[in-house]
Homo-oligomer: A and B are copies of this chain.
Amino acid sequence: VNVITVTSDRLQALGLVRATLLVDETRVRTNIQRFVDRAHASGVLLRPHFKTHQSAVVGDWIRQAGIERATVSSLGQAEYFCGHGWLDLTLAVGANPREAAEYDRLAACCDLGLCFDDPRAVVAVAGALDHQVGAWIELDPGYGRTGVPWHDGARLVELARAMAAAPGLEYRGLLAHAGHSYAAAGPAAAALVYTETLGRLQSARSALVEAGLPAGSLSAGDTPGFAAVDDWSGLDEARPGNFVFHDLMQLSVGACTEQDLACAVACPVIGVYPERGECVVHAGAVHLSKEHLATEQGPCFGRLLTLDEAGFGSLVPGWRLTGLSQEHGIVTAPEAGALADLQPGDLMLVAPVHSCLACEQFGAYRDLKGNEIGRYRRC
């Protein structure tokens, strides 16, 4: 049995014509339940990051697992999910003072948490508020992107005092994103990042308490770290997002198995080149993003997945997307003979390197029954 051909036939039976993002609902629900169970066992609130799926339908699956809070990465996402009944949202990107009036309008409809690492932003946002907004101190736990450095007690205290002095803001606690867990060599290294992040949040909280300020909650979230650690206790809130879909990047850091890959792009073959051991699909950077994994064989922009009777199957050894331009993807076969059965119009199922960025490229997905799954889209 040629799994490439069987997968193509099954994708054709779904009526697919061009690059289409598919999600395997069974896998998504399994992925959700795994993290819900872990949060429950740890006594930690799960506030998943919805920037991965950005879909009210997937949000419903998460809600059906008992979750009522979400994290978002833009005001537009917050407005969309508020409109779909998510009434407790944290916007986990540093507050933008120029959006303050919009934060205020949104805070009339839901509990909105914002995060800050600069007292000037606190003052600017608070000055525009008529409604109460939650305020998190964003802590940089060593990632080096945003947040107050974990060891800078003076700045933490200054920021907490600015929040306390701002009437419209209600202090919530300390929030961190340990994005450097994505560079971990495997689960053990990701677990170390997790433990270090927890320790740095706790030490920052101690600095606030010692200064006579309220302690607040501790919130963190990144899929590699939270996948690597079973017991999340010590934290108050967990904010991973990617775990609902996973992707090749999570696989490469050991945060998931092949059987957890829950979104993939069906791609039409438009050229077959046995002499090069390659074929080309009409799916490029505008469908998959240019995110890649650096491997010994060069950059990898995606891998082929099978479609089994029950849903997504396994990665097909040796097949890789080795090049990507705006609309084209170059697929390298394990050997030239493997291309013999392929022809233009066949469909391949490509597991993306970074599911968040692949999802961003599509206005809607489909499930494996052919139902359309809508999502938020930026202007």
The listed residue (B271, B356, B357) touching A94 by CB distance below 8 A is: B271
Distance in angstroms between the alpha carbons of A94 and B328 in the assembled complex = 10
Q: Does A260 contact B (CB under 8 A)?
A: no
The listed residue (B145, B286, B289) touching A378 by CB distance below 8 A is: B286
Q: Does A130 contact B (CB under 8 A)?
A: no
Q: Does A270 contact B (CB under 8 A)?
A: yes
Distance in angstroms between the alpha carbons of A118 and B118 in the assembled complex = 59
From 150 to 194 in chain A, residues with beta carbon under 8 angstroms from any chain B beta carbon are: 179
Distance in angstroms between the alpha carbons of A118 and B342 in the assembled complex = 12
Copies in the complex: 2
Q: Does A259 contact B (CB under 8 A)?
A: no
Q: Does A379 contact B (CB under 8 A)?
A: yes
Q: How far is the CB of A232 from chain B (nearest CB, A)?
A: 23
Q: Does A235 contact B (CB under 8 A)?
A: no
- A145 in contact with B328 given A94-B282, A271-B118 (CB within 8 Å): yes
Q: Does A132 contact B (CB under 8 A)?
A: no
Q: How far is the CB of A357 from chain B (nearest CB, A)?
A: 6
B18 and A75 form a contact (CB under 8 A): yes
- A98 in contact with B379 given A291-B285, A345-B121 (CB within 8 Å): no
Pairs across A and B, CB under 8 Å, 5 listed? A99-B268, A118-B271, A120-B344, A124-B344, A146-B270
